[in-house]
Structure 1
Amino acid sequence: MDEFAPIFVISVAAELAAMHPQTLRQYDRLGLVSPTRTAGKSRRYSMHDVLQLREIARLGAEGVSLEGIRRILELENRVTTLTARVHELEAALADEMLNRPGRRVFAAGTEGDVISLKTGTRVRRSNAVVVWRPLDHS
């Protein structure tokens, strides 16, 4: 079952979340949980929505204000989105590395410039020793 499929009417979602349907309407108005709407404007909740409603109840029971709950949910959703994006980029990078043998890597030069290197090579560093002596101003 798709966690985001809007399948529950408000009465069923309220029962699954152990809340009154009016509470779900209030949370919708506040933007805490925004169910999908049908063509007839009735609300349809997903399992994800029900889980968020349960999380709201848990946080409320711990004394967190509705504004605090809204912010927590917003941040959790952002973390989820960013985590998915990181995984997507990691997969793209892994594919790129596998599909491009002889690829080039880059390093910082001594002056801060970017140097392109072949795979398996290293930047040649100067091994000169520089001795600093203060000037005698006498």
Structure 2
Amino acid sequence: MDELSPVFPIAVAAELAGMHPQTLRQYDRLGLVVPRRTAGQSRRYSMRDVVQLREIARMSAEGLNLEGIRRILELENQVSSLSARVRELEAALADEMLARPGRRVFAAGESGDVVSLRAGTRAKKSNQVVVWRPWSARD
């Protein structure tokens, strides 16, 4: 069993969180903690849900209203999701660098585009000379 397994019925989750079951139903309606549902539509809470319920109780005791708590939880979930994505991308980059050493060198092209280079090479630079004269000098 992991922390995301929905195993606790509402009465057990309420007792573990130190709340009344009706409070959990209200939080579900507000979207603060959304438990999974069984085939018979009864709520099943995970250990993560219980921890989140305790966190809601703590923030509420500190004077935050439910909308503020909802927004904080939403942002915390977004941070967790983005952190997981960063870890995923870092792992993919590390795998790519191990699979193709020396092939990931980049430079800026003349028009500002990204140019891929082999390791140890330089981007070609333009050595053209442009002469400019003001209009008054041509008369």
Per the normalisation by structure 2, the TM-score is 0.84
2:107 is paired with a residue of what secondary structure?
strand
CA RMSD between the two structures: 2.6
For structure 1, the 5+ residue unaligned runs are 127-138
- CA displacement 1:31-74 (0-9 Å, x = unmatched): 11010111111110000100110010011011111000000000
Q: Residue 27 of structure 1 aligns with which residue?
A: 27
Q: Residue 130 of structure 2 aligns with which residue?
A: none
Write out aligned runs for 1:111-122 (5 A): 111-122=111-122
Structure 1 residue 108: deviation in Å? 1.1
Q: Residue 108 of structure 1 aligns with which residue?
A: 108
Q: How far, CA to CA, are the matches of 2:2 and 2:89 in structure 1?
A: 24
After TM superposition, the structure 1 stretch with the greater mean CA deviation from structure 2, 110-119 or 50-59, is 110-119
| Aligned pairs, number | 135
Task: List structure 1 segments (4+ residues) > 4 angstroms apart after TM superposition.
Answer: 122-126
- How many percent of aligned residue pairs carry the same amino acid? 77
8 Å CA contact 2:104–2:119 kept in 1: the answer is yes
For structure 2, the 5+ residue unaligned runs are 127-139
8 Å CA contact 2:97–2:104 kept in 1: the answer is no
Q: How far, CA to CA, are the matches of 1:44 and 1:93 in structure 2?
A: 38
1:67 aligns with 2:67: yes
8 Å CA contact 2:11–2:21 kept in 1: the answer is yes
Q: How far, CA to CA, are the matches of 1:2 and 1:49 in structure 2?
A: 12
Write out aligned runs for 1:1-138 (5 A): 1-109=1-109, 111-123=111-123
